[in-house]
Structure 1
């Protein structure tokens, strides 16, 4: 897509073609032509047991993502933290009357939100999706919420069934579900616009290339996307997943996960 001096690419691939993709992604450009935004969500797949909600994860990510996309370009007077809080509230109100939003596995998602203007690039990251920021000199800065990665594996394994003592709890990790106050837990900040040449936002199904398989670092991943595109990254991840028959790298993780890549040259 070409809009003025901006170039962007967006690709999302389901982990299982027989199941709906639970990720959400958008690139927003205001009618004024000033600035823009990126939204990437990774819906959290619930266990087969009851999760207190009549709605699917794609239902949730479509509504939360849609609210974030709209607010990020229409309400430049709000901070990204305020935008996430309002989007969570709006989405919760859409099914509060029919669903148990207090259930620890109520539909939820990780969040990457970036917004730029002529002067600045703002960012917000919640949970284990990633934002990569490239400078004009080619330096790549990863913006990560690493609370989940820092948790001991034994603790995660012990609570994998319910996440009742880990998810959206003190000492655990946080995702966007039904409580707008979680927005304050996100990793946020601002770069001067002159210090940013391009952005890449990815769900953890795509970051596996670095985080699970160790095929390169964040700069290598950014270079791969710039030169070959997001589809090439996802294809490489799928090849690595299929080759890991001994679960050396994947461990307890699902073999294939939904994978989303958004790339934008500002």
Structure 2
């Protein structure tokens, strides 16, 4: 189904990159680990990058093996596997336990399935140039508006009325935004972390602009555009440079 799968990831600072992109011939997974706020005790002996790596590996093993089941079901299994790996050493009841967004796509039986948990979107480029974006906006809709306090985020993470991420609660996978689209008529699929989303949220690009750039120049060019704008115009809020990742899955044109 996919004629080409390409991806790139770039750290936002000298810290280890807490994003991760893993892909195979028929699937891609993009993760964005949540950097801990200063002074917050996560109750975990591991860094965020450890969680992201373990979770990505657990998902990749299932997708590469062709496991049946929904993407949400695979994610729930993967989160449980990661929890089991450090339940004996870490306090997984701590609401600040390390966590990550998850965005996945999988090509199967003439359709492209997708899952989005947290603010890492999936964008479809139609053959006629139209763009459709699957996103999870719950983090943007917390009460009071930004900047959010540490206490608010702690209270509403993986809680009804709040937002959902992959961390210490396997059932959070059931809250993901999921669906599928017919592969016919789709030119390509992009999967991004919010480090790339800055182009749209802050710097005036459309998702059509992002997909046009990644289609013509590759994922690395999109990451370069983010960095250039961050330097030239600065951040709207938060870090000057964020970890940024992009995957592009180009579909085979339909047979005549």
Shared fold (TM-score greater than 0.5)? yes
Matching of residue 217 in structure 1 with residue 206 in structure 2: yes
User: Which residue, out of 138, 145, 151, partners 2:129?
Assistant: 138
User: Which residue, out of 221, 229, 238, partners 1:240?
Assistant: 229
How many angstroms does 1:162 deviate by? Answer: 6.3
Q: Is the 8 A contact 1:85 1:182 kept in 2?
A: yes
How many angstroms does 1:78 deviate by? Answer: 1.0
Q: Is the 8 A contact 1:38 1:115 kept in 2?
A: yes
- Matched with 1:126 is 117
User: Where in structure 2 are the equivalents of 1:193-212 lying within 5 Å?
Assistant: 193-212=183-202
Say which SS state the counterpart of residue 165 (structure 1) adopts.
helix
- Counterparts of 2:210 and 2:192 in 1: how far apart (Å)? 11
- Matched with 2:254 is none
TM-score (norm 1): 0.89
How many angstroms does 1:10 deviate by? Answer: 0.9
User: Where in structure 2 are the equivalents of 1:69-80 lying within 5 Å?
Assistant: 69-80=60-71
Say which SS state the counterpart of residue 9 (structure 1) adopts.
strand
How many angstroms does 1:77 deviate by? Answer: 1.7
- Counterparts of 1:162 and 1:118 in 2: how far apart (Å)? 42
How many angstroms does 1:208 deviate by? Answer: 0.5
Q: Structure 1: where are the runs of 5+ without partners?
A: 30-35
How many angstroms does 1:47 deviate by? Answer: 1.8
How many angstroms does 1:69 deviate by? Answer: 1.2
Cα distance per residue 1:5-51 (max 9 Å; x no partner): 611211000000x211001111113xxxxxx1110000001123221
Q: Structure 2: where are the runs of 5+ without partners?
A: 252-256
Q: Is the 8 A contact 1:203 1:259 kept in 2?
A: yes
Q: Is the 8 A contact 2:37 2:150 kept in 1?
A: no
User: Which residue, out of 82, 102, 112, partners 2:103?
Assistant: 112
Q: Is the 8 A contact 2:2 2:107 kept in 1?
A: no
Q: Is the 8 A contact 1:60 1:107 kept in 2?
A: yes
Say which SS state the counterpart of residue 60 (structure 2) adopts.
helix
Say which SS state the counterpart of residue 195 (structure 2) adopts.
helix
- Matched with 2:17 is 21
- Counterparts of 1:227 and 1:142 in 2: how far apart (Å)? 19
TM-score (norm 2): 0.92
User: Which residue, out of 20, 36, 39, partners 2:29?
Assistant: 39
How many angstroms does 1:84 deviate by? Answer: 0.5
Say which SS state the counterpart of residue 50 (structure 2) adopts.
helix
The alignment's C-alpha RMSD in Å is 1.7
Q: Report the CA distance shift for 1:105/1:138 in structure 2 as closer, same or farther (over 3 A).
A: same
